[in-house]
Structures are given as structure tokens and as C-alpha cells.
Chain A
Amino acid sequence: MADSHAGAALAHQFEDLEQQHEAASLGMWIFLATEVMFFGGLFAGYTIYRNLYMPGFDAGSHLLNVTIGAINTAVLICSSLTMALGVRAAQLGKRKTLLTFLICTLALGLAFILIKLTLEWRHDYLEGFAPGLNFTFAGPHAKSVELFFCFYFLMTGVHALHMVVGVGVLSVLLALAWKGHFGPQRYNAVETAGLYWHFVDIVWIFLFPLLYLIGGRY
């Protein structure tokens, strides 16, 4: 083993690289557990109000653009694939492949945020669906539709915030990968960032049907 290289990557509190790797991985899994609980509070609130105000939530859901939501779902699933391939490249020490996949993931993440911002939120705002700012929807169940949009903006907003953080993390990884920072002895950062990225994608996998597909639209 390249001891000098390993020594450089090993923080002083750990005995060996394996221990360090396990600690980093467990730390991220625990962090994701806290994220599940964080989103869990929102999902619980959503579920309760959806049961209380079924017709209003269905009407609100029907005002969303399913096609764009579906496109964004596809974008995110692809980004998870490129992220997973990137982690593998880091483990194998293939710098160029890692750079390619990190750039792909970054681009897909940015695409998701842009689509969300320009094609959806802006549109929703102009249509007068933004609670507290310009909510002008006056159809039946207007109050419950407002509550639906409240949860829509909250849940997609918190999710998008996590995407922005993810994009920031990917940018740092990209800079480090450019300098040849990662290798078979040193890929924890890529792997744990990957876990985070997949988690944020999975949240969207739950958000998409809950927000876009309810109420027997088809």
C-alpha cells in the first residue's frame, strides 16, 4: 500500500482508512435520517390537510403542469445515474471519467432548478397561485386550493434548496477532482455527496406523485 499517500488522506483521529471511510459513510446515513424526519413533518402536514380538504387539493393539483413535472423527474433520475457512475469512477481512480460524470450531474441538477424556476414557479406566480403574495384563484374551494399551493411551494421550495446545496457540493467536488484529489484511497467525499444527491432525488420521487398526480386526473 502507498503508505505516504494513505497517510495524507487519513485524519489524525482515525486508526486507518477503513475506519475513516466507515465513519464518513455512517455519518452521512445518519444525516439523511434527520432529513427524512425534516421532510416527514411536511409530508405529515400535507397528508392531514389533503384528507381534510380532498376536493380543494385535487383542484389545486390539476392546475400544475404534469408534463414539466415529468420532464424534471426524468432529469433527476438521469442525474442519479451519472452520480452513481461518478462515484464508481472515483473509486477506480479514473480522473477524466469522474470529471465527465460530475459535470453531467451538475448540468442535470442545474437544468432541474432552471426548469423549476422559469417554467413552473414563475408561471404559477403569474397565474396568481402564490399564497400570501398574489393568490387570486377564485374558483370553487379557493381556500383549500390556497393551502395546497402553500404546501406545493413549501415542499418544492425546500427540495429545491437541497438541490442548490447539492449543486454547491458538486462544484467543490469538481474543483477537487480537477486537481486530482480523489483516488482509490480517497473517495469518501464523492461517495457521501452521492448519497446526499440520491436522497434529494428520492424526495422528488415522492413529491411528484403527491403534488402532480392526485385526484384522478387521468
Chain B
Amino acid sequence: MATAAVGPETRVDYLNVDYGIKSWLLTTDHKRIALLYLVSITLFFFVGGAAAALMRLNLIEPNGALVEPATYNKLFSTHGIIMVFFFMIPSIPAVLGNFLVPMMIGARDLAFPRLNLLSWYIFMAGGALCMYAVIGGGVDTGWTFYTPLSTTYLNTNVMSAALGVFVAGFSSILTGLNFVVTIHKMRAPGMTWFRMPLFLWAIYATSIIQILGTPVLAITLALVGLERLFHVGIFDPAVGGDPILFQHLFWFYSHPAVYIMILPSLGVISELVTCFAKKRIFGYSFVAFSSVAIAAISFLVWGHHMFVSGQSIYAGIIFSGLSFAVAIPSAIKVFNWTATLYKGSISYQAPMLYALGFIGLFTMGGLTGLFLATLAVDTHVHDTYFVVGHFHYIMVGGAVMGYLGGIHFWWPKITGRLYPDGWARLAAAIIFIGFNLTFFPQYMLGYLGMPRRYAIYPPEFQVLNVMSSAGASILGVGYLIPLVYMIWSIRYGPVAGPNPWGAKGLEWQTPSPPPTENFPETPVVTEEAYAYGAKEVAVG
């Protein structure tokens, strides 16, 4: 193939090696597949975001400003299903993980490149089914598909939505499998487990959850489908089934699933904090093992979603205690990042702003999680906006901030171009302000007793709801700005060079954008991760 590179650069990299549509749709290059995911999930993000925007618009008035309650139910279901299964779960693993796992360990590709491409097609097939469910009449089960509502009482597109999630699950499983095998078997010479960047420890722990949790969701949704088709009583109490069994099976996956969403962000933050403080991570092995600990404990806490479901009070006490236990490894991370910052030479570029925002918001989300893990308090705030506030602090304030921070950090590596730092900092600030204005009032609403998933509410809640909706519009603007300057930078951004941040790690030792085979020759690792010299000065 002749190199078709136009412009000043003549070096062949993974982007300019071929421009044909086939070279993208049939690629087995992990970096190109990462970009396929990036485009896909960005699309899903704005679909899910549009649903959220309509919800917030509706809640400006106590009687509902915009839509019928039935439509509102479809909106929050669409928002939940799309955001959880088609944005949050694939976000960091499928985009940054795909791009970075082989590069960070010094490999040419993942262990199973064709399987990797297949995962993307499976993901898109699942996404298409869910989009069909949304466009062809909507689905109103909520993202949780609770029985017997989903199996007996609803005549909406439950089947195609559940099938879409079922299908997309296999994409998640195969991606996790690919990462685990790659990290186990394909590390470059000298890249021992304890020299790996902490991002990889987080991705590894995430993959374990994807591998062991997702199949349980698959069989659960298959049972929901069969129950809908034949109505044989698997979950219908009228025929002897037990709807609580569904909740157990569903949360056995879906609680660990929130760690699928947050763990990769925790990994990204470890990279950002060390790079922009130009310091070794404080307590490497504690941060590494806290990822594994979170993954392990995540499988033992699902019952805290069911404190008021009528499960045994003794089970409730045990699940409560175990849920408190998750706070320990999570807090270890926060303390260790803080200790890393201490006496670091900190520079406040855009990725670092996201990282600092993350640490604060994740801490707030985590602390309110302890409220919810407390049996008596949970009885008061269960199914209220307090819960909505809590998980959005973790998912949006945590996971999305981490994702955006990561995208900003590795964007020069992915595209070879820099984005305008001033705009990026402005966007980070707008997102931080918009986020807090959206979700902090929701804590208060929930504590005052406003239940979630209602299209209308008593008039005394209006002020806080209007604040939340105003915040959502600011947040929306904040998300649109990066979309514009990121696309702009691909063509007009200044050339980044191999290592614009002065970061450590193998991915920064190869040109930007990297060549198809990642490294001219297999690198040999001779030092630990984050070997930032004590006297090294931050790169402006």
C-alpha cells in the first residue's frame, strides 16, 4: 500500500495507513476499534442525554411542563438503559482500555484482535435493538426491568430492549476476557505485575467483574423474556413464582456493574494525579489491591438494593455491613491520591481539573453511599431523589469526569493533536458547576421525601427542581464544548509530539499517533511505574 499521507507529516501511523471505509469496519487494530467505540458511545451518550434533558424540562413545573406521565416513564427508562449499558459500561474499558491496554504493557495488539472487532459488532447489534425499542414505541420498565411489572403488566417494547441489553452483555464479556488474557500473557519483558500502571490494575479488576457478573444478567433477562412469552410463573407470584428472585439475580450483576463503571475511572485518576503532580504514586500496592478488593467485595453487597423488599432482616444486616466494607478500599484510593498531591509540583491543565473534580465528587458520592448502606436511613430515603443524587455523584461526577479526564489526557496520543487548553479548562469548570447545581438539590429533594421516577410532584419541591433543571442545562453546554473543540483539534490543533505532558509509561515513548504495530521494537521495561524524578519540573 502506498502511504496516502497528505500534508507535512509523512510518517505512517495507524490513522493514515488507510482511509477506506473497509479499513475501519474490518479493522482488527485495537486502536481503530477503540475509535469505533468512541464514536458509537458518544452517539449513545447524546441520545441518553437528550432523554435526561426532556425529563429535567418536564420537572420545571409541579404538574409536568412537557410530557404525559406515560411518556415520562419511557424517558427515564431510555435514559437509564442507554446510559448504563451503552455508555457507562463500555466507556473507559472499550475506548481507553482498548487503546491503552496493549500500549501500556508494550504489546502489538490484544490477544484476540478479531474477537475484539466482533465485540464491537455485538455491541452495535445490541444498541440497534435498544434504539428500535426506544423509537418503535418506547419501553417503560426503568433500566432495572423489575418483575412482575416487566413480565406481566407492560405491553411496551420490553422484549427488544431486554434482548438488546442481553446481546450487548456478550460484548462486555468478550472485551473483559480479551483484557484479562492480554494482561496475563502479553506483557513486555520487564513489565512485572507491580510495574504495571495502576490503570491496568483497575481495568483488570473491572474485567473480572464483567466476566463473572454479566452472564448472570444474561440468564436473568433470558428468564424475563421466557416469562413474557409463555407466562409460566418463573417470576409471577400468581403462578407460584417469586419476583424477589429476579431482584436478587438482577442486582447480583447490577451492583458489581456500578463498579464496572467506576473502577476504570479510579484507574485513570491514578494516572492523572501522578502525571500532573510529577510524583510517584503514594502506596502503589495499596492502590493496586484496593481495585481488586473493590471487585471482590462488589459481588457480596447486592442485597443493599433490597432492604425494603422484604428480604430477611439478618440478610439486610450482613449486606449493610459488607456495603460499609466497600468504603475502605475506596477511601484508600482517595487518601493515597491526596498524599500523592502533597508536595507535588502540580500543574492545572484540563485533565488535572477533571481529576481534582473527580476526587471531590467521588468522595461526596461515596459518603452518601454510606447513608444508603445504613438500614434505618435507607428505609427513609429508599427510592427517593437521594438515591438518584448518590449514584449520579458516583456515575457522572465520578465515572464521567474520569472518562473525560482520560480522553483529554490521551487525546494527543490518540490523534497526535492538542486541543485548546483554555477552552478545555473552561469546559471542565462549566461541567463541575453544572453538575453540582443539577445533583446537589436532588440530595435535598430526596431527603425531604420526593420519590424518584415521578412525572409530577407537590408544589413545595419546585424551587429545588428548577435549580436542578437549570444545572442540567449548564451541564449540557459543558458537554457540548469538548465535542466542538475535540473535533476542531483533529484538523487544526497543534501537533502534540510523542509526550506533551512529560508523562511516564510506555504509551508515551512511541510517536503520536502510534504506528499500527505500536512500537518499532518490543520495549524492555527497567523501572517501576510513575518513576517521576523528585526534582523534575512540570512541563508547562
Contact = CB atoms under 8 A, between A and B. Distances in A.
Is the A/B pair a real complex?
yes
B489 to A, nearest CB: 30
B422 to A, nearest CB: 40
Contact of B214 (A23, A34, A44, A143): A34
A38 B218 contact: yes
A140 interface: no
A188 to B, nearest CB: 12
Given A13-B107, A38-B216, A131-B230, A53 B181 contact: no
Contacts of A133: 230
B249 interface: yes
B109 A12 contact: yes
Contacts of A39: 219
Interface string B483-511: 00000000000000000000000000000
A27 B240 contact: no
Interface in B202-240: 211-216, 218-220, 223, 226, 229-234, 239-240
A71 interface: no
Given A19-B186, A41-B215, A150 B111 contact: no
Interface in A92-131: 131
Contacts of A35: 215
Given A27-B111, A27-B112, A19 B231 contact: no
- Mostly helix, strand, loop or mixed at chain A's interface? helix
B111 A147 contact: no
Contacts of A52: 240, 242
Contacts of A27: 111-112, 177-178, 181
B341 interface: no
A154 B232 CA distance: 11
B226 A19 contact: no
B234 A45 contact: yes
A146 B240 CA distance: 10
Interface centre among B215, B220, B223, B231 (most CB of A within 10 A): B215
Contacts of A33: 211-212
B216 A143 contact: no
Interface centre among A23, A48, A53 (most CB of B within 10 A): A23
B234 A147 contact: yes
Contact of A26 (B102, B184, B212, B517): B184
26 contacts: A12-B108, A13-B110, A22-B185, A23-B111, A23-B112, A23-B185, A27-B112, A27-B178, A30-B181, A34-B215, A37-B213, A40-B215, A41-B215, A41-B220, A45-B234, A48-B242, A52-B242, A131-B230, A132-B230, A133-B230, A146-B232, A146-B233, A147-B234, A147-B240, A150-B232, A154-B223
Given A144-B240, A150-B226, 20 more contacts: A13-B109, A13-B186, A19-B185, A22-B185, A23-B111, A23-B181, A23-B185, A27-B111, A37-B215, A38-B216, A38-B218, A39-B219, A40-B215, A40-B216, A41-B215, A42-B219, A44-B249, A45-B223, A45-B245, A146-B233
